[in-house]
Amino acid sequence: MTQYGSPEREKTEEERSLNFIEQIITEDIKSGKNDGRVHTRFPPEPNGYLHIGHAKSICLNFGLAVKYNGLYNLRFDDTNPLTEEVEYVDSIMEDVRWLGFDWGDRLYYASDYFEQLYEWAEKLIIKGKAYVCELTAEEINARRGTPTRPGTESPYRNRGTEENLDLLRRMRKGEFREGEKVLRAKIDMSSPNMHMRDPVLYRIIHASHHRTGDRWCIYPTYDWAHGQSDSIERITHSICTLEFEVHRPLYDWFIRELEIFPSRQIEFARLNLSYTIMSKRKLLQLVKEGYVSGWNDPRMPTISGLRRRGYTPESIRYFSDRIGVAKRENVIDLALLEHSVREDLNKKATRVMAVLNPLKLVITNYPEGETEEVDAVINPEMPDPGKRKVPFTREILIEKDDFMEDPPKKFFRLAPGREVRLKYAYIIKCEKAVKNDHGEITELHCTYDPLTRSGMPDANRKVKSTIHWVSEPHAREVEVRLFDRLFLKEDPDDVEKGQDFKSSLNPESLKVTKGYISSGIDGAGALDKFQFERLGYFCVDPESKPDKMVFNRTVTLRDAWAKMAKNPQK
């Protein structure tokens, strides 16, 4: 696995300066190209929800425009009526906005350019650079040749201009069946670049489009629409992923032949994340086949899933920036994404104490029926950390695994005869573990030292460990969803190994459990963020109800990335 931006070294001053795209843009500005204008776009196809890879592309495209005082467009690349839906259009806009970008009035649709693209197709025909071909898709493929063997020219390649125009017009009118005819560019069947071997520009699809309805029955291919849309919008820097590098000569050919605005295409390596799949087709499969609850399932790598999981826009933007732009394929460690959200939530999340796996603890020398309030810190990372009152009582709940009857050497928490501090409250000593008939521990009996509370003479007395707790009579039961990685394998989609991505799904990616919280969550609403002390970051699920609260675990507190950064050799 390539470790681009691996944790063992922070970026040097030079690396932090300009990435290769910024270098190109700075040079273009210097040379006065496009009057120094910088105009970028994000061109999603509305055939699925956006994922973290798209987030990278959005942050890159829009971030560059912002950095160079330019403009950015949001353009739906909606050229395929068969896979596109309004639901996707809406979700994409919501996600881009949530990430923190505002496209103002620059919202466009490739479908708005259908008429212009059609005119350009006629222009190519008139120039003798396009023809209507009647070979089937299979025949076209069979005649394409291979990179080392030239293709065979279509028998329809040398039709006259009038005949081509007439046929294209009739294609548009709907006189032919799907697959009967296509329009192809007339370039070079022996070009070493397969994309130059008379690519298809239009195919007949008798289907309604979500915006143009039944107005069209011929639809432009991606290659015919994409670059031209950039030219129409006078996009200066058309940034895309590496697989389009080989399409660039074709796009440049269109620009020359049509004499249109020469957008400059720049390719960068797409984001790949370990333990994650990013193919929309496969993500759709997970949704359709019920492996997840929907596109916004908190285990999905979608922006809506990450949002529901508790990710913040800032954490995603930081992540995006941190990974930089690469020219070669690489895989980013999922731990870096998790690290990014931890860093942000550490600064923002309200601390509360929650117990997920409760063990009852009775403080036998504490007065029965009494409640006292201790001060808990809301967030120690804030300039003004703030304080909140937390009820303390004779009967409390602690985490089961904070006690061991027969502790090994390195266990410093509660055990018979041992002392620990209850966070924000007293030091207690374990006197006895009470068991039921099956020998299972049902509760602990402890005593407390009244002089160890804050403000008391022994407040600073040191013990080896501090544990969190919740007052039992005040405890409120909530539902807690513990999410883990959706896939067990680093590369779930290892095609070379012939592995089906669904076979590496993690059967334990979701565990639903109960949690107990005594204070700090009243009035908390959808997506409010908390740190459950010592356990991790959690947020309120949007479907949570005040009388049946649901929390989603964003991440645990264990930061594998930070650890690697400190200790690279391990």
Binding mask 279-298 for ligand ATP (x = CB under 6 A): -x------------------
Give whichever of 95 and 399 is closer to ligand ATP, judged by the CB atom: 95
At its nearest, how many Å lie between ligand ATP and the CB of residue 565?
24
Please confirm, yes or no, whether 514 is among the known catalytic residues.
no
Q: Applying CB under 6 A, does 333 fall inside the site for ligand ATP?
A: no
Name which of 27, 31, 104 is nearest 62 in CA terms: 104
Give whichever of 46 and 520 is closer to ligand ATP, judged by the CB atom: 46
| Contact positions with ligand ATP (CB under 6 A) in 56-95 | 56-57
CA distance 487 to 483: 12
At its nearest, how many Å lie between ligand ATP and the CB of residue 7?
21
Which of 33, 129, 270, 489 is an active site residue? 270
What does the DSSP 8-state code read for residue 213?
Answer: B
> Which of residues 7, 53, 199, 305 is near ligand ATP by CB under 6 A?
53
> Which of residues 7, 21, 25, 54 is near ligand ATP by CB under 6 A?
54
Give whichever of 45 and 419 is closer to ligand ATP, judged by the CB atom: 45
Q: DSSP alpha helices (H): ranges in 414-559? A: none
| Three-state DSSP string of 175-204 | CCCCCCCEEEECCCCCCCCHHHCCCEEEEE
> Which of residues 271, 306, 398, 539 is near ligand ATP by CB under 6 A?
271
The answer to whether the CB of 23 falls within 8 A of the CB of 273 is: no
Q: Token pair of 260, please?
A: 């249109």
- The CA-to-CA distance between both ends of the chain, in Å, stands at 16
Q: Which stretch binds ligand ATP (CB under 6 A): 52-60, 342-350, 412-420, 552-560?
A: 52-60
CA distance 376 to 469: 12
Q: Which stretch binds ligand ATP (CB under 6 A): 40-48, 258-266, 470-478, 539-547?
A: 40-48
C-alpha 567: how far from its chain's center? 28
CA distance 499 to 218: 37
Please confirm, yes or no, whether 270 is among the known catalytic residues.
yes
Q: Which stretch binds ligand ATP (CB under 6 A): 50-58, 314-322, 385-393, 455-463?
A: 50-58
What does the DSSP 8-state code read for residue 505?
Answer: B
Give whichever of 270 and 327 is closer to ligand ATP, judged by the CB atom: 270
Q: Which residue matches tokens 């690396």? A: 15
CA distance 490 to 25: 35
Q: Applying CB under 6 A, does 278 fall inside the site for ligand ATP?
A: yes
- Rounded to a whole number of angstroms, the CA Rg of the chain reads 31
**Where are the extended beta strands (E) located within 114-228?**
130-133, 182-185, 200-204, 218-220
At its nearest, how many Å lie between ligand ATP and the CB of residue 19?
14
Give whichever of 279 and 442 is closer to ligand ATP, judged by the CB atom: 279
Name the residue number minimizing CB distance to ligand ATP: 53
> Which of residues 7, 44, 81, 262 is near ligand ATP by CB under 6 A?
44
Neighbouring C-beta atoms of residue 520, cutoff 10 Å: 18
At its nearest, how many Å lie between ligand ATP and the CB of residue 77?
6
Q: Which stretch binds ligand ATP (CB under 6 A): 38-46, 470-478, 550-558, 560-568?
A: 38-46
CA distance 56 to 273: 12
Q: DSSP alpha helices (H): ranges in 324-478? A: 334-348
At its nearest, how many Å lie between ligand ATP and the CB of residue 46?
8
The answer to whether the CB of 35 falls within 8 A of the CB of 364 is: no
At its nearest, how many Å lie between ligand ATP and the CB of residue 423?
42
CA distances from 415 to 115, 259, 408 (A): 77, 80, 10
Name which of 94, 554, 542, 47 is nearest 283 in CA terms: 47
| Contact positions with ligand ATP (CB under 6 A) in 211-240 | 240
Give whichever of 330 and 499 is closer to ligand ATP, judged by the CB atom: 330
Q: Applying CB under 6 A, does 45 fall inside the site for ligand ATP?
A: yes
The residues carrying an active-site annotation are 45, 270, 280
Q: Which residues bind ligand ATP (CB under 6 A)?
A: 43-45, 47, 53-54, 56-57, 240-241, 270-271, 278, 280
